[in-house]
Amino acid sequence: MAYAIELQNITKRFPGVIANDQVTILVGEGEIHGLIGENGAGKSTIMNILYGLTQADEGIVRIFGKEQFIASPNDAIRLGIGMIHQHFMLMPNQTVLRNIILGSAPRKGPVIDEKKARIQIEKIMEKYCMQVNLDAVVSQISVGEKQKVEIIKALYREVRILILDEPTAVLTPAETDALIETMRKLKEQGCTIVFITHKLKEVLAATDRVTVMRKGVVTGFGETKDMNVRKLSELIVGREVNFDIPFGAYCPGETLLELSGVSTAPRGGRMPVKEINLKVKRGEIVGVAGVEGNGQSDLIEVIAGLIAADRGGITLCEKDISKLSIRQRRLNGLSHIPEDRLKTGTSTVCSISENLLLNKYFLTPFSRHGIFNHRHIKQHSKLLCDKFLVKTPDPSYELKTLSGGNMQKVVFAREFDTEPSLMIAAQPTRGVDIGAIEYIHGKLAELRDSGKGILLISAELDEIMALSDRILVMYEGEIVAEFHRGEADEYEIGAYMLGAKRQVAHSG
């Protein structure tokens, strides 16, 4: 078999960790290769080495059989390698078209020939059945579309090897299916694909062969057809994973959070919510299902206090919080895992412990009269990192040195640590590995069983169905259906999500 990519004995060290330790990955020509493993296993790192974003300390890289030294992404692009990053790298204020041609635009003399580029791109979009509005500004388009833009950008550079780093973490199930379809089409055209994901279902559905990594070393590889969920999860975490969430019995108590007739004002490019009525009781997880962009963002932000309600009342523990500031709401027992961990949930250039400190920095014993007690802060962040499985040698490192899933754990740790009475959990397990999902789900269940309430918003129907005692379906800013656990299956909920069906009345 001819190999498109041969990574031989790659070693890469970062301060305090060995991200890749003698890693060997072989990817055959024209195959879809799954790369899976825990958070911080070194998947992104080795792909960054392949794409020239960092250089290996030791080891050999061969592309199509020839040894190569890839010093920069330019070298990689020249070799026909394209990469779509875990965290997108688009210019937010430019149009889609400009983002696609950036760096390799066709020229007419000294000026860029946008017309020619447009024709070329439209051809690509037709060939792979991907449509995006080329004149839209990137900051205005949805996550799924951003991803398409990244793929088109790579195709425009005529890649023969495409690396996709956790592309499905942010996609809806339908978008994921479409992406897998696109990957198959690319494969038919002779393209080699490396596909990183934490979702075993996708691995089994889309890939030809897999490599599994753990703690910087390869723990297994082989044909996908010889694998199953159990085998893969054992290779990933080194033990059996329990997919059943250990819940206590469902016995809801008094109402914790109540929204009555809440509407928000429409703002550029966002779906407002209309006349929302909902309740979250003690000891209850309420899941909000819906295709992304149907008002979930406004729902989350209006409760958290990031945007004001146009109409309606919000009460938390029987106290009207609709006029309170963000800080006041948090002090009243609200905690909030935001949808987008990079944009709102963290500051990547601040240290891990500074990121963990956000909700408590103004409280004793963390600070007294505005002056920090650094010793206590350090101890506390070490404790949180240990407890919530954040893999880092030292919490004083910048947050950006963490792998994507570990960043998510930092956010979760911080929000869990405030002992909230109500937690808004938006995409709480986005990008985390199966071991950590087990842990986070367990923690959410624990929170529920201790008489707290959780409002769960997730693009993943599986997660909603597994965790929620009640499921609300949102469509175009309204709640169109409500089910108790086990009352409806995915297909039924899916029909409501797409607006094909709607319950006449609901109580919330």
Ligand X SMILES: Nc1ncnc2c1ncn2[C@@H]1O[C@H](COP(=O)(O)OP(=O)(O)OP(=O)(O)O)[C@@H](O)[C@H]1O
| Residue from 7, 23, 34, 39 in contact with ligand X (CB under 6 A) | 39
| Residue from 15, 110, 268, 370 in contact with ligand X (CB under 6 A) | 15
Minimum CB separation of residue 162 from ligand X in Å reads 17
Rounded Cα distance between 298 and 263, Å, is: 9
Site for other proteins in 254-313 (CB under 8 A): 304, 306
Rounded Cα distance between 307 and 272, Å, is: 11
Rounded Cα distance between 34 and 126, Å, is: 27
Rounded Cα distance between 229 and 236, Å, is: 10
If one asks whether residue 375 binds other proteins (CB under 8 A), the answer comes out as: no
Do residues 264 and 272 make contact, with C-beta atoms less than 8 angstroms apart?
yes
If one asks whether residue 431 binds Mg ion (CB under 5 A), the answer comes out as: no
Site string for ligand X, 59-88 (x = CB under 6 A): ---------------------------x--
Site for Mg ion in 75-94 (CB under 5 A): 86
| Residue from 5, 7, 10, 19 in contact with ligand X (CB under 6 A) | 19
Binding residues for other proteins, rule CB under 8 A, total 52
If one asks whether residue 27 binds ligand X (CB under 6 A), the answer comes out as: no
Binding region for other proteins (CB under 8 A) out of 28-36, 136-144, 224-232, 462-470: 136-144
Question: Both tokens of residue 50?
Answer: 């392949």
If one asks whether residue 211 binds ligand X (CB under 6 A), the answer comes out as: no
Rounded Cα distance between 454 and 444, Å, is: 8
Rounded Cα distance between 421 and 398, Å, is: 30
If one asks whether residue 137 binds other proteins (CB under 8 A), the answer comes out as: no
Tokens 């893969």, residue located: 232
If one asks whether residue 380 binds other proteins (CB under 8 A), the answer comes out as: no
If one asks whether residue 463 binds other proteins (CB under 8 A), the answer comes out as: no
Which residue, 377 or 488, has its beta carbon nearer to other proteins?
A: 377
Rounded Cα distance between 118 and 425, Å, is: 41
Angle (nearest 5°) at CA 225 between 435 and 84: 60
Q: CB under 5 to 8 A by kind: which of other proteins, Mg ion, ligand X, none does 42 bind?
A: ligand X
Which residue, 267 or 374, has its beta carbon nearer to other proteins?
A: 374
If one asks whether residue 14 binds ligand X (CB under 6 A), the answer comes out as: yes
If one asks whether residue 17 binds ligand X (CB under 6 A), the answer comes out as: yes
The 3-state DSSP class for residue 258 equals strand
141 DSSP 8-state letter:
S
If one asks whether residue 92 binds other proteins (CB under 8 A), the answer comes out as: yes
Do residues 421 and 254 make contact, with C-beta atoms less than 8 angstroms apart?
no
| Residue from 34, 144, 404, 453 in contact with Mg ion (CB under 5 A) | 404
> What is the per-residue DSSP string for 475-492?
ETTEEEEEEETTSS-HHH
CA-wise closest residue to 326 among 354, 352, 296, 300: 300
If one asks whether residue 44 binds Mg ion (CB under 5 A), the answer comes out as: yes
Q: CB under 5 to 8 A by kind: which of Mg ion, ligand X, other proteins, none does 335 bind?
A: none
If one asks whether residue 45 binds ligand X (CB under 6 A), the answer comes out as: yes
If one asks whether residue 358 binds other proteins (CB under 8 A), the answer comes out as: yes
- Give the β-pairing of 311-316 and 255-263: antiparallel
| Residue from 68, 211, 294, 401 in contact with ligand X (CB under 6 A) | 401
If one asks whether residue 63 binds other proteins (CB under 8 A), the answer comes out as: no
| Residue from 21, 44, 287, 472 in contact with ligand X (CB under 6 A) | 44
Minimum CB separation of residue 432 from other proteins in Å reads 10
Which residue, 294 or 401, has its beta carbon nearer to ligand X?
A: 401
Rounded Cα distance between 36 and 47, Å, is: 12
Question: Both tokens of residue 371?
Answer: 């002056």
Site string for other proteins, 141-170 (x = CB under 8 A): --x--xx------------------x--xx
**How far, CA to CA in Å, does 130 sit from each of 222, 304, 397, 403?**
31, 36, 40, 30
* Residue 303 burial (CB count, 10 A): 26
Rounded Cα distance between 284 and 319, Å, is: 19
If one asks whether residue 376 binds other proteins (CB under 8 A), the answer comes out as: no
Tokens 């889309």, residue located: 206
Cis bond before residue 393 (omega within 30° of 0)? no
- Give the β-pairing of 81-84 and 161-165: parallel
- Between helix 143-156 and helix 114-127 the angle, nearest 10°, is 110
Which residue, 39 or 468, has its beta carbon nearer to other proteins?
A: 39
| Residue from 1, 2, 15, 239 in contact with other proteins (CB under 8 A) | 15
Minimum CB separation of residue 273 from ligand X in Å reads 32
Tokens 């579309």, residue located: 145
Which residue, 44 or 408, has its beta carbon nearer to Mg ion?
A: 44
CA-wise closest residue to 195 among 185, 210, 181, 182: 210
Residues near ligand X (CB under 6 A): 14-15, 17, 19, 37, 39-45, 86, 391-392, 401-406
Residues near other proteins (CB under 8 A): 13, 15-16, 86-92, 138-139, 143, 146-147, 166, 169-170, 304, 306, 325-328, 330, 336, 338, 340-350, 354, 357-359, 361-362, 367, 370-372, 374, 404, 430-431
Residues near Mg ion (CB under 5 A): 44, 86, 403-404
